[in-house]
Amino acid sequence: MEETGIIKHCRITIFGLLLLTSLLASGCADLQAVRSFAKTSAATADYRQIVTDYVESPTRRKRYHPDRYAVQPAGTTTPRARQKTLLAGSQRVLAGYLNALGDLAADELPDVDSEIDGLAKALEKAGFAGDGDAAIRKETASAAGSIAKVLTRAVLDHWRQDRIQKIIRETDGNVQTVVAGLREIVLKDFNASLDIEAEAVRKYFESSIAAAKSRNDEEAVPPLARILMQEHLDRIRERRDRLSSYAEVLKKICTGHADLLANVDKLEDKALQERLEKFAADIRILYKAIKEIYA
């Protein structure tokens, strides 16, 4: 009679544990979309070529200066070289953050099965589990081990989700400011630098055209100069296209992160996951476009 009571109690306990385990396991979030968005963003945010383009702009411009023009643009070259470190550093910090967020949302949790088996063996070896006078029966220890495997994974997953939520909440404001700041620099200052470069190209070739015209040469030098000017301006236009694509990448990162914050309590939400995957796909397309402009 007493044994039946113990068995009943054990069954209720095991049933309770199984229920808890299944509840925890069912609460495990699928963070694949968060990971995909963060990792893709990280890979594209750190695009250094546009910084190099900006920093080298005064040096490129020097080619168009008349030889007699004594003032060299060193006053701009040196500060821009210093800014290169800061700009690349900003991209690195942003990419580092997105990478870490992606790592935290990574699917693979450590496989603790062998460690839990090790624990069960340790209990048996120490005489706490096994046959005879041991405190825990071998079968019970084995069943507890199986439950522990699922529980550990579930607890780890919940803890991880909690960390991700905390990090997104804490960082979104900073991410929005940094990305908006970088975007502004790219769209306004990098573009303005290209405007100046284009004006230098214009001055160089228009001088040749005007000088030729004043010598009544309308057919030889001017058409050739115009073709060359167009080629040089086309290179500047390609740099400008890269800036637009990169600014668009930054905008997607900004919007995607804001979306993460807005839905931080339901990261497993299907609609959010679809949007994040879409952001990641768009960013990949934009990045490919930047690369193709260079090719």
Partner 1 sequence: MPISADQAREIAGGFLEMSHALGSYRFCNWSRLTKSQRQGLENAEWDMLNYSSSFVTAAAGIALADIERDLSEIATTTAEAKKAVATIKEVKNVMKVAAALIQLGGAIASRNPAAISRAAANAAKTAKKATDRRTP
Window 244 to 263, contacts with partner 1 (CB under 8 A): none
Residues 152-171 contacting partner 1, CB under 8 A: 152, 156, 159-160, 163, 167, 170-171
Q: Does 26 sit near partner 1 (CB under 8 A)?
A: no
Query: How far from chain centre, in Å, is Cα 33?
Result: 12
- Least Å distance, CB 164 to partner 1, is 8
Could you say which of 2, 5, 26, 66 contacts partner 1 (CB under 8 A)? 66
Choice between 12 and 210, CB closer to partner 1:
210
Point out which span in 15-23, 87-95, 138-146, 261-269 binds partner 1 (CB under 8 A). Answer: 87-95
Residues 93-112 touching partner 1, rule: CB under 8 A, are 93-94, 96-97, 100-101, 103-104, 106, 109-110, 112
Q: Which is nearer to partner 1, 122 or 285 (CB)?
A: 122
Q: Does 136 bind partner 1 (CB under 8 A)?
A: no
Least distance to partner 1, CB of residue 47, Å: 17
Among 7, 15, 139, 195, binds partner 1 (CB under 8 A): 195
Find the shortest distance in angstroms from Cβ 68 to partner 1: 7
C-alpha–C-alpha distance, residues 256 and 280, integer Å: 9
**Least separation in angstroms between CB 292 and partner 1:** 27
From residue 76, give the alpha-carbon distance in Å to each of 87, 237, 262: 16, 22, 42
Pairwise CA distance, residues 120 & 123, whole Å: 5
Q: How many residues does the chain have?
A: 295
151 interacts with partner 1 by CB under 8 A? no
Q: Does 193 bind partner 1 (CB under 8 A)?
A: yes
Among 139, 189, 231, 292, interactor with partner 1 by CB under 8 A: 189
Binds partner 1 by CB under 8 A, chosen from 31, 209, 236, 243: 209
Q: Identify which of residues 20 and 198 has a Cβ nearer to partner 1 in the complex.
A: 198
For position 16 contacting partner 1 by CB under 8 A, the verdict is no
Task: Provide, rounded to whole angstroms, the least separation between the CB of residue 134 and partner 1.
Answer: 10
By the rule CB under 8 A, 68 interacts with partner 1: yes
What tokens appear for 145 in the block?
Answer: 């081990």
Cβ-based nearer residue to partner 1, 251 or 278: 251
The stretch among 8-16, 64-72, 239-247, 270-278 that binds partner 1 (CB under 8 A) is 64-72
The string of DSSP letters for the chain reads -HHHHHHHHHHHHHHHHHHHHHHHHHT----HHHHHHHHHHHHHHT--HHHHHHHTHHHHHHTTS-TT----THHHHHHHHHHHHHHHHHHHHHHHHHHHHHHHT-S-----HHHHHHHHHHHHHTTSEESTT-SEEHHHHHHHHHHHHHHHHHHHHHHHHHHHHHHHHHHHHHHHHHHHHHHHIIIIIIHHHHHHHHHHHHHHHHHHHHHHHHTT--SSHHHHHHHHHHHHHHHHHHHHHHHHHHHHHHHHHHHHHHHHHHTGGGTT-HHHHHHHHHHHHHHHHHHHHHHHHH-
Distance in Å, CB of 282 to partner 1, minimum? 23
Amino acid at site 162: D
